[in-house]
């Protein structure tokens, strides 16, 4: 492959050149971890995802299949989404058996993804602009949404995409392919993202390199080599996607089918109308284009966003459409910023090639001063319009980040008392002290994740067994504003085995019912 040849756009790093990337990573990690710890202490529960992945991590730590009772009795989570990469969570849980550890791990993965992109920005634009872009990236809307939504498997995809984007911009095609390959182990739809990346590599190889040819064979052979690699990557991504959704997921899913195929609701509406049918979708597109600095749209790398946008916007689930919340936008951010930097790198490559193109073929006359034949170098060799385009590409995402900051989750850190224990913290502690370790528990969202480390936990919406204990949080959103008034009566009435429950704790909105008999026992 072509990775062996030296890169003029990758000079030897100076110690000070590492500071922007280091600052972005550390600042992002500190801010995101502070938010996650505060969220955990305040017992804010946006969804059941953290509890689900905590049960998965606990199973992997025991070298067991990822059976997650929260999704249903005997439910193998690999049949929900295909994410064998999450086996790595078993080691994390083994060392730190707490859902909070998963939150911190996600924060670190998102923060470290700023390193390669900020390093590339430093090489291309200098330290000041790179620092600004690095901070924008690590605190961007898509990553903030992922942090606020708590743990999700996409945390592993973000750094892979960041390193792949940098390798693409630097024309290190084999490295790019190697960073892309593990994405198919993170989530099934990312196989289509790999497909688009392979096509982008092939297209870039067909276009050729704006820099001077290297000594490694003729230019046409290198282009053919890159095109061939890109097509192999594309075929790998498509093959992995089809294998996963047509064979692996149906085999592992309790329903015998892929659970997340595109839902209906489009009726006779055209494809374009469904894609752009909502103001929310248009807002998401605008945010994405601004993150790419507008100029990123001219990079083939930007095509990687298309599969993710397609399955989200074609779905009838409105939660998939927005830009301010949830984790669905996280994978788009390294793609968009990578596309921006790819365009900048192409322009810079032309600048680096300019001196050689303008150098005289014969020595200058002795009477001429050396300066007379000195060709422009660096950005001074780039046309003025291109320099303005790069400036626009840097400014637009920064302005976007500043303008939208008050609308995003991390802004809550400025709120006095953020992360303080809630008024019901002592009552919640009493609930967890009431339930012995190893017991099975059926509960709503309120304490779902907090009960996972020491118990087998079921959710009230999917449980089909009679648990040892039932916990009802009258403040939980799971009840739709109509919680049971008596947890024991509610649990007894819906028992599958005619079990009887008694109320053993009723405090500050929490009720705990214990199973005392079962006629089928």
- Domain ranges for the chain, please list them: 15-345, 425-518
> Is pLDDT above 90 for 150?
yes
pLDDT of residue 423: 92
Confidence of residue 335 (pLDDT cuts 50, 70, 90): very high
| Averaged pLDDT score across all residues of the chain | 87
Instruction: Give the residue carrying structure tokens 């078993």.
Output: 90
Question: Residue 421 corresponds to which tokens in the numbers above?
Answer: 């224990």
Task: Determine what percent of the chain is predicted with pLDDT higher than 90.
Answer: 68
Any idea which residue has 């190893």 for tokens?
438
In angstroms, the first-to-last Cα distance of the chain is 66
Q: What is the pLDDT of residue 273?
A: 62
- Bigger pLDDT: 188 vs 378: 188
pLDDT of residue 510: 95
Question: Mean pLDDT across the stretch 183-207?
Answer: 93
Q: Where residue 519 falls among pLDDT bands split at 50, 70, 90? A: low
Contact 177, 233 (CB under 8 A): yes
Secondary structure string (H, E, C) spanning 318-376: HHHCCCCCCCCCCCHHHHHHHHHHHHHHHHHHHHHHHHHHHCCCCCCCCCCCHHHHCCC
What is residue 286's predicted lDDT score, i.e. its pLDDT? 95
Q: Is the pLDDT of residue 302 over 90?
A: yes
Q: Does the pLDDT of residue 193 top 70, yes or no?
A: yes
pLDDT for the residue 347: 87
Mean pLDDT on 496-505: 92
Give the confidence band of 224 by pLDDT, cuts at 50, 70, 90. Answer: confident
Q: How far apart are CA 383 and CA 379, in angstroms?
A: 8
Q: Which of 286, 364, 277 is nearest to 324 (CA)?
A: 286
- pLDDT, mean of residues 90-97: 96
pLDDT at 135 over 90: yes
pLDDT at residue 119 tops 80: yes
Lowest-pLDDT range, 17-26, 284-293, 342-351, 440-449? 342-351
Using CA atoms, how far apart are residues 338 and 354, in angstroms rounded to an integer?
24
Cβ-proximal residues to 249 (8 Å cutoff; 6+ apart), any chain? 79, 81, 82, 188, 257, 258, 259
- A 10 A CB-CB count for 473 gives 26
The answer to whether residue 389 scores a pLDDT higher than 80 is: yes
- Bridge partner list, 505: 512
Whether residue 353 is predicted with pLDDT greater than 90 in this model: the reply is: no
Using alpha carbons, select from 485, 480, 479, 481 the residue that is nearest to residue 511: 485
pLDDT of 162 over the 90 cut:
yes
Has residue 35 got a pLDDT over 50? yes
- Predicted pLDDT at 4: 42
What pLDDT does residue 12 have?
A: 63
Query: What pLDDT was estimated at residue 220?
Result: 54
Top-confidence residue, 407 or 274: 407
Residue 2 has pLDDT above 50, yes or no: no
Q: Give the pLDDT of residue 130.
A: 96
Per-residue confidence band for 362, with pLDDT thresholds at 50, 70 and 90: very low
């Amino acid at each position: 492959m072509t990775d062996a040849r030296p890169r003029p756009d990758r000079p030897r790093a100076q110690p000070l050149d590492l500071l922007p990337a280091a600052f972005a990573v550390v600042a992002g990690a500190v801010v995101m971890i502070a938010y996650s710890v505060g969220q955990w202490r305040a017992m804010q529960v946006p969804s059941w995802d953290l509890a689900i992945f905590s049960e998965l991590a606990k199973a992997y730590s025991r070298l067991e299949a990822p059976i997650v009772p929260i999704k249903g009795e005997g439910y193998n989570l690999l049949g929900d989404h295909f994410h064998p990469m999450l086996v790595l969570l078993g080691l994390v849980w083994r060392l730190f058996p707490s859902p909070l550890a998963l939150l911190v791990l996600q924060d670190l993965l998102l923060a470290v993804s700023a390193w390669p992109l900020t390093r590339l920005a430093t090489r291309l634009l200098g330290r000041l602009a790179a620092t600004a872009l690095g901070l924008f990236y690590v605190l961007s809307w898509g990553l903030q949404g992922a942090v606020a939504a708590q743990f999700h498997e996409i945390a592993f995809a973000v750094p892979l995409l960041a390193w792949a984007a940098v390798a693409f911009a630097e024309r290190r095609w084999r490295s790019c392919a190697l960073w892309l390959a593990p994405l198919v182990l993170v989530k099934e739809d990312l196989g289509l993202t790999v497909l688009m990346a392979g096509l982008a590599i092939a297209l870039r190889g067909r276009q050729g390199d704006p820099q001077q040819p290297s000594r490694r064979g003729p230019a046409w052979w290198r282009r053919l080599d890159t095109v061939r690699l890109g097509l192999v990557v594309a075929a790998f991504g498509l093959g992995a996607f089809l294998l996963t959704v047509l064979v692996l997921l149906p085999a592992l899913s309790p329903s015998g089918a892929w659970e997340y195929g595109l839902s209906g609701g489009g009726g006779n509406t055209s494809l374009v109308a469904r894609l752009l049918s909502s103001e929310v979708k248009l807002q998401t597109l605008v945010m994405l284009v601004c993150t790419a600095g507008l100029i990123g749209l001219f990079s083939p790398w930007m095509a990687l966003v298309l599969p993710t946008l397609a399955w989200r916007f074609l779905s009838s689930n409105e939660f998939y459409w927005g830009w301010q919340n949830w984790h669905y936008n996280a994978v788009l951010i390294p793609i968009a910023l990578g596309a921006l930097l790819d365009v900048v790198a192409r322009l810079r490559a032309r600048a680096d090639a300019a001196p050689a193109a303008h150098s005289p073929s014969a020595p200058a006359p002795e009477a001429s001063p050396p300066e007379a034949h000195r060709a422009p170098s660096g950005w001074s060799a780039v046309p003025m319009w291109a320099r303005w385009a790069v400036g626009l590409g840097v400014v637009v995402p920064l302005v976007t980040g500043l303008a939208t900051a008050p609308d995003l989750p991390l802004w809550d850190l400025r709120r006095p008392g953020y992360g303080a224990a809630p008024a019901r913290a002592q009552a919640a502690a009493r609930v967890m002290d009431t339930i012995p370790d190893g017991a099975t528990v059926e509960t709503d969202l309120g304490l779902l994740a907090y009960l996972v480390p020491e118990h087998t936990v079921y959710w009230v919406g999917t449980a089909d067994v009679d648990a040892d204990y039932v916990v009802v949080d009258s403040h939980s959103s799971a009840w739709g504003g109509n919680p049971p008034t008596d947890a024991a009566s509610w649990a007894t009435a819906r028992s599958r085995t005619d079990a009887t429950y008694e109320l053993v704790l009723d405090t500050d909105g929490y009720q705990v019912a214990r199973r005392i008999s079962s006629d089928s026992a």
